[in-house]
Amino acid sequence: MLTKEQNDLITRTGPGTPGGDLLRRYWQPIALSSELPPGGAPLPIDLLGEELVLFRDERGRVGLLDRHCCHRGTDLSYGRLEDGGLRCLYHGWLYDVTGKCLEQPAEPKHSTFKDKVCQTAYPVLERAGAFFAYFGPGAAPEFPAYDFFMAAPEYLHQSKVSVGCNYMQANEGNYDPAHVGFLHRTEGENRAANRALHRVGVSDAEAAHVDSGEPPRLEVEATAFGLRVYQIRSGGPGREYLRVTIFGMPNFAVISGPQGGDGHIGIWHVPIDDGSHWRWHFAVRRDAPLDHDGRYATSHTNSPEYEAEYTLRRKSTNRYLQDRTDMQATFTGMGHNFNAHDAFATESQGAIQDRTRENTAASDTAVVAARRMMLAAVDDVRAGKEPLGVVRDPTQNRFVDLISFDVLADAALDRRDVVRQVIERCAVVS
Ligand code: FES
Ligand SMILES: [Fe+2]
């Protein structure tokens, strides 16, 4: 349970809010590369309570500007791409990708007023098939060298979908392993194919020793990027089944998902406003290029569960198309798509979950630890310190231990040694 003030600190992200100041210290994904191809129209973007426009100038340089012209506020996403920038349709003011005002053609010939104004602009990078922006003060930090950002395109798949709730409660689902055995469960004859155990890196024969119905124990370990969350079940005599997931500061998680082989998915939850956000998937395979099935399973497109423009077909307005006769086959009666289940569970908590009224339990160990970490980071930013996970020194920009996996391990081994062994086995993709 949190106080109202604490809840506001981690859920309110608009300009000038402490939680918003925290999120703005990290590079955030803002659009897919495919949404702004060379020569494409300027793209309106709503993010962190701000109205923005992303565009490529005639030379291919990318800019992210406040969407409202600093003259008298007209929407620049309708503007003309010409003469080295983006030109407002109202009176022709022209801005380059840095927000510098290049021309004010309606002003007197010798006016220097254009040198006295500028359009708010944010640094942008194109990486991993997406655009990322830095919204914070001063120089941008290093772009984090997570493997799912650095891998070659054939090893990587990126997608996004909109979700109608606060970013924080949706991310909490990623490091809440107990929900997987309920919300995502298949029933009846399908039980044998229960996906409650993802079993990435664990063979069918080995998994036969693991009781997927046993409530897992949870342990958390603080790291340089956030939390490593251990989900622990007995795995037969002298063995433990460990599933390791990651909470990454401040708004992502890493899970070993259905991408196949040796890999995982980085999942970002980026606020559009405080009651909605984008859920991003960056799926990577290290041992081999992602095949069709791996891309399909991690994607937010190509499935009847999704509509155009990155939205799920199941939503609150159609009661998530719940079919109660289908509850013989699935726990929810809402089909087999995990993202649809997660959207139902987290959207129905309310646009912003009222955490003053909850009763957190043992299965919420990681959720509670992550909130503490977020609140401490909010305090750090307020105190003028760099928050956890922001990298300024290029030599420190390495994250080999930011990894999610499943493993059957010797129960006598220290868990940190298990993590080390898995890292040594992992292929390198960057
Ligand atoms: S409002 Fe944009 S140029 Fe006047
Ligand atoms: Fe889930």
Neighbours of 412 (CB within 10 A): 8
Given this structure, which CATH class describes domain 147-425?
alpha beta
Residue nearest atom 1 in ligand 1 by C-alpha distance: 72
Task: Say yes or no: CB of residue 78 within 6 Å of ligand 1.
Answer: no
Tokens of 206: 């080995």
Is residue 102 predicted with pLDDT exceeding 90? yes
Digit-coded pLDDT (tens) for 50-85: 999 999 999 999 999 999 999 999 999 999 999 999
Give the pLDDT confidence score for residue 193 in this predicted structure. 41
pLDDT higher for 246 or 421? 246
Q: Is 95 in the pocket of ligand 1 (CB under 6 A)?
A: no
> DSSP 3-state helix, strand, coil percentages of the chain (rounded to 5)?
25, 25, 45
Dihedral sign from CA coordinates of 250, 30, 44, 115? positive
Q: What percent of the chain shows pLDDT beyond 90?
A: 79
pLDDT at 206 over 80: no
Among the bound ligands, name the one nearest to the CA of residue 65: 1
- Ligand 1 atom 4: residue of nearest CA: 91
The dihedrals phi and psi of 150, each to the nearest 5 degrees, come to: -100, -15
Give the single-character DSSP code of 272. E
Residue nearest to atom 3 of ligand 1 (CA): 91
Task: Indicate whether residue 69 lines ligand 1 (CB < 6 A).
Answer: yes
Q: Which ligand is nearest to the CA of 86?
A: 1
pLDDT value of position 382: 97
Q: What is the pLDDT of residues 172-191, one digit of tens each?
A: 999 999 898 899 998 864 45
CA of 161 to the centre of ligand 2 (A): 14
Q: What is the three-state SS of 291-353?
A: CHHHHHHHCCCCCCCEECCCEECCCHHHHHHCCHHHHHCECCCCCCCHHHHHHHHHHCCCCCC
pLDDT at 163 over 50: yes
Q: How far is CA 266 from the centre of its chain?
A: 7
Q: In the predicted model, what is the mean pLDDT of residues 46-53?
A: 98
pLDDT of residue 302: 64
The alpha carbon of 339 and the centre of ligand 2 are apart by a number of angstroms equal to 7
Q: Can you give the pLDDT at residue 360?
A: 97
Nearest-5° angle of CA 36, CA 39, CA 42? 50
Q: Is the CB of 74 under 6 A from ligand 1?
A: yes
pLDDT at 427 over 80: no
Which one, of 278, 315, 59, 308, lies nearest residue 161 by Cα? 278
Q: Which CATH superfamily is domain 28-133 in?
A: Rieske [2Fe-2S] iron-sulphur domain (2.102.10.10)
Q: Is the CB of 90 under 6 A from ligand 1?
A: yes
Place of tokens 């499943």: 406
Which ligand 1 atom lies nearest to the CA of residue 106? Answer: 3
Span from the CA of 65 to the centroid of ligand 1 (angstroms): 14
Local structure of residue 153 (DSSP, 8 states): G
Predicted local distance difference test score (pLDDT) of residue 384 = 97
Tell me which ligand sits closest to the C-alpha of residue 70. Answer: 1
CB 114 near ligand 1, within 6 Å: no
Model confidence, pTM: 0.94
Reported as a single tens digit per residue, the pLDDT across 303-352 is: 788 887 799 999 999 999 999 999 999 999 999 999 999 999 999 999 99
Ligand 2 centroid to Cα of residue 316, in Å, is 17
- The answer on pLDDT for 428 being more than 70 is no
Å from CA of 68 to ligand 1 middle: 9
pLDDT score recorded for residue 281 = 95
Average pLDDT over residues 110-119: 97
Considering every ligand atom shown, identify the ligand nearest to the alpha carbon of residue 90 and give its number: 1
pLDDT average, residue stretch 216-234: 95
What is the average per-residue pLDDT within 112-119?
Answer: 98
Residue 429 has pLDDT above 60, yes or no: no
* 170 CA → ligand 2 middle, Å: 9
Alpha-helical (H) ranges within 212-273 are: none
Q: What is the pLDDT, as a whole number, of residue 192?
A: 42
**Among 425, 182, 132, CA closest to 282:** 132
Q: Is the CB of 91 under 6 A from ligand 1?
A: yes
Instruction: Kindly state if the Cβ of 71 falls inside 6 Å of ligand 1.
Output: yes
Which helix H or strand E contains 266, and what residues bound it? Answer: strand 263-273
Q: Measured from the CA of 91, which atom of ligand 1 is nearest?
A: 3
* Ligand lying nearest the CA atom of residue 338: 2
The model's pLDDT over 244-274, given as tens digits with 9 standing for 90+, comes to 999 999 999 999 877 877 889 999 999 999 9
- Cα distance between residue 316 and residue 275, in whole Å: 14
- 72 CA: nearest ligand 1 atom: 1
Q: pLDDT tier at 298 (50, 70, 90 boundaries)?
A: confident
Residue 321, CA distances (Å) to 8, 61, 250, 314 in order: 32, 44, 32, 6
Q: Is the CB of 88 under 6 A from ligand 1?
A: yes
The upper half-sphere exposure of residue 379, i.e. CA atoms within 13 Å in the direction of its Cβ, equals: 7
**Nearest CA-CA partner of 218 in 244, 237, 184, 256:** 244
Are 13 and 48 spatial neighbours (Cβ–Cβ below 8 Å)? yes
For the CA of 74, the closest atom of ligand 1 is: 1
Domain boundaries, the chain: 28-133, 147-425
Mean pLDDT to the nearest integer, 224-244: 93
Which atom of ligand 1 is least distant from the CA of 69? 2
Q: What confidence tens digit (pLDDT) does each residue in 389-398 have?
A: 999 999 999 9
